[in-house]
Structure 1
Amino acid sequence: MDATQNEALTAWMDEHGYSSNTLAEAVNEAIERLSGRTGGLDGSSVRDWKAGRVRWPKSLTRAGLETVTGLPVTDLGFVPRGRTTPTPTPPQEDPDMKRRTLVGGVAATAAAAAAAPGIAAPRRIGMGDVQRLQSRFAEIIASDHRHGGQLGTEERATSLANEALTLQNAGSATQRVRSHLYASAAGFRSSAMWAAIDGRRYSEAITHMREAQTLAEMSGDQAIKFRIWSHAGTMYRHMGRPADALAANDVARGLHITRRDPLFASLGLARQGAILGVAQNRTGARLAFDQAQDAMDRATPDAHRPVWLVAFYDQAELDSLALSAYLSLGQHQTAEFHAHRCLSALRPHMRRSRAITTTRLAHAQLAQGDADTATATAISVPADAATQHARVTRMLQEFGAGLRATASNSSTVQIWTTHTREAWRTTA
């Protein structure tokens, strides 16, 4: 191999599974966390490093490299200007280097502990550990779509978040692995947050939100940051605080991932439309849903996206959010249209979403004066969802109150009363 080539960097990339393009992307993200500015590196930049054409990158790039790898750049084969050999040098007082992230500090602490005399070397934490956690994350997502709002889901997600954090102190790891562990912990906490929101346990949801936000910042993962702030917007919407909901959702929509991927932009806009419905902003809601549909139509179907996003956000979910908004706005015919379109497109595993949409459809039909059809729709909601899902239970109770108020002397009220007394009692 030519003596000018950077063998140390090439070996590190091979060991940790980085290509030139993926390393450039990781360093760009680290630079953005350190400086607030997006890095301008690409695969050719990394190839210049490997070939030795660039022997000493700029200071902020060096900081990004050290954040990603957890190693001094001199250990990666880079040579300070004026030197001819890649001899490791003492730490420099470069002001950019003082801007390390907390995650990098954790990595350094773990390395120091591993080197302490008399202490057994810790085991190596790798991407295999991360992948095992991610498979559990997929299980949590699936459980939520089947049942929704359950305390058991919230507790399992919290326990798995703690498990991810325990791994941080269980051994040595690269910066990439540590960032993934923090992202996994943030993901589990955001699932616990969502389960609490869905179960109307808002004080617990706020606690999970704050923990998830901290972990997401430590991970630097844009997708999980989006999920947490978007959930926060939904939480405040359900709490009847549209100003706070819009502020939280705007944080999600302001992340640069919404500019990279139209599907994230679409979800942010659709949730904005639902919030504007609660705020009684008809024009704003309609515009938001038009823009959400346009963004969804522009999204590349086969792009790589997080499991939590692809598991639920599609045309059916967009119509579900529109249904919610137009119900809030009192535009019941439009709400019914979106309800039927949502139900026709819902994937089989979305049992929770089907129960919510069916209940909202019953409300839209009742508001249009069709008590018989509305009652038949409400009766079709599965009894387990009607009695065990807090949001569905409350909406069906409100439906019953509305039915009695509008059709108090009809046989339809008796049919509904009998159904709730007999069918719900056996599953409660």
Structure 2
Amino acid sequence: MEQARAAAEFAYFQGLDHAVPVANGTRALVIALMAASVLAEETGKRALRPGRRALVSGLTWQATAMAPLDRRLVPVLLDVDPATGVVAPETVHAALRDDRDGEIAAVVIPHLYCRMADIPRIAEICDEYGVVSIEDCAHAHGGAIDGRPAGGVADFGTWSFQGSKSITAGEGGMVTTRHAGIVDQIVSITTCGRAVGRSRPFQAGNDRLGALQAAVLRARMRRFYREELPVKPGVLADLEARISGMDGVTALAPQLRVGTQITYKAVARFEPEAFGADTVEDLADALHALLGVEVATLYDPLDDSDLYRPDSDPANHWSDAFTAAADPARYPLPGAHELRRTALGFEHAALRDPAFPDRFAQAVARLRAAGPVPSRPSEVTG
């Protein structure tokens, strides 16, 4: 089957032992939490029962937080370090240490854009407290930290192959795990709960990856790992070295323990006033015109996101306490907002071009020489 071949090839290329293909990255997160319920019972970790908490980054695509909601877990939003965009281990440790009642049952932390979370340390902390750990690897294709591949460090890794990702099948996902004994359960959960090997009965639906998507995925991952991965981290390093000498622009903080840097998007932080701009949105428009690549602001922090609205789903009103606890406004995220106000991301395809760092430097110089950057026109309202 194409799906089995895609899983085997992905595990081989990424350096993992176990991988299960699924319909998409969002479902990968939900399926990991479903399998985590079984893993927790078998290993003595905290049960993932309704109403318990899941620690989640406050700067991520909304699906990272939506998945715990789907399992009736309360997403507790953690702030990020604005120097990297990811949650620090110390932040996870502080939240678990202060959890006097032991209500936190899972930790779901994404690698983001071109920086990796310190998953080795975070997974270690989670093991210490008896909490399931999940690394959201939607941006982490090819990444490795401390000599360990992304997706193989925490209890579970979840992957997206959606159209914008470094590896895409148009749509698709993968669940990976460091636990050989839970693989049959993951496969069972993706196939309507059918008995598979040592799986136990578990109410589930159809979350399988289609054969056509699997075939596309196989071709795309070969191109990424064989042709693009040898190039893109070096281009990113050259770009960040160029940025280090620029006025009004800074790169994200370096990560010395990361062996293979992830390259979903390059990120640069700007001082808009240095270019006569009011906002980074204005700079995005100008840089897009000069570079001819997608230039975009980062995700909206989840406490101020149009898409992450737990209260908008009636299913999340099953308990007044749950609804109140899931309110994203409860969780201040100053680091996430600082990064959102100052940073822009550049599409990962740009990093296939070794000339991109020079083009970027030339574009920044042209912006500075041209004078004030015009503001975006206001939207017309009727």
- Shared fold per TM-score greater than 0.5: no
- More relative contact order, 1 or 2 (CA 8 Å, 6+ apart): 2
Q: State the TM-score bracket (shorter-chain normalisation).
A: under 0.3
After TM superposition, the score normalised by the length of structure 1 is 0.23
Identify the structure with the greater helix proportion: 1
Based on CA coordinates, which of the two structures has the bigger radius of gyration?
Answer: 1
